[in-house]
Amino acid sequence: MIVKRKPLNFWERLYLPAILDGFRVTVRHFFKRKVTMQYPEEKWAVPPDYRGAPYLVRDQEGNTKCVSCQLCEFVCPPKAIRIIPPGPAGQLADRPNAEKMPAEFEINMLRCIFCGFCQEVCPEEAIFLLKDYSLTGTSREEMIYNKEKLLELGGTHGGIEKWKHKLAEAKEQENFPVKV
């Protein structure tokens, strides 16, 4: 298809109206409010379901939620997670309804791809992708976050209290009148 060009009229050929138009636009933008965010000082509001760095969370009583099942370690595509289970003679879990908790839990933040598989696969809701998006360090070792660091950064998760509900359900079932 050939689009016929309209011949320019006298004013258009002078280019002066176009020049003035351009000047008007640039002057308007010159005095407009600027959109730049002064980044390290100002930061954008991270939405609540943002998938940032994965951290371990504690429940509302301050207990470690992770039970060292190693599903996240298994599912992690870049193999960023390394869990050392407590072993047969290891430390017991610090909460009821759990057999164990990890002796060590490391996430290599240089390898992590923020896919969220660990959060998805976790049966205990112990690991979440929180809102940290800018992780920095001066060495590779520094970027491997250990259990203490992950728990500290993760904080308390005020979400579903799975075992509290299970306990309530179990208690209900104990009192449930058995009908024949």
Q: Rule CB under 8 A: which residues touch another protein?
A: 19, 22-23, 25-26, 29-30, 32-36, 38
The residue among 11 and 50 lying less far from another protein, judged by its C-beta, is 11
Query: Residue 100: helix, strand or coil by DSSP?
Result: strand
First-residue to last-residue Cα distance in the chain: 83
With respect to another protein, which residue has the nearer C-beta, 39 or 176?
A: 39
In degrees, to the nearest 5, what angle opens at C-alpha 132 toward C-alphas 42 and 114? 135
Instruction: Compare residues 26 and 173 and give the one whose CB is closer to another protein.
Output: 26
Got the DSSP string for 24-41? HHHHHHHTSPP----TTT
Instruction: Name the residue nearer to another protein (CB basis): 40 or 47.
Output: 40
CB atoms within 10 A of CB 21: 10
Could you tell me the two tokens for 75? 């599912």
Closest separation in Å from C-beta 99 to another protein: 54
Nearest distance from residue 36's CB to another protein, in Å? 4
- Min separation Cβ 30 and another protein, Å: 5
Q: How far is the CB of 135 from another protein (least distance, A)?
A: 23
| Two tokens, residue 102 | 């990890």
Query: Is the sign of the CA dihedral 30, 33, 35, 36 positive or negative?
Result: positive
Nearer to another protein by C-beta: 20 or 110?
Answer: 20
Q: Residue 82: what are its φ and ψ, rounded to 5°?
A: -135, 125
Residue 26 Cβ vs another protein, minimum distance, rounded to whole Å: 5
Rounded least distance, CB 132 to another protein, Å: 24
Euclidean distance between CA atoms 135 and 17, whole angstroms: 51
Q: Which is nearer to another protein, 29 or 179 (CB)?
A: 29
Nearest to residue 131, comparing CAs of 43, 60, 64?
A: 43
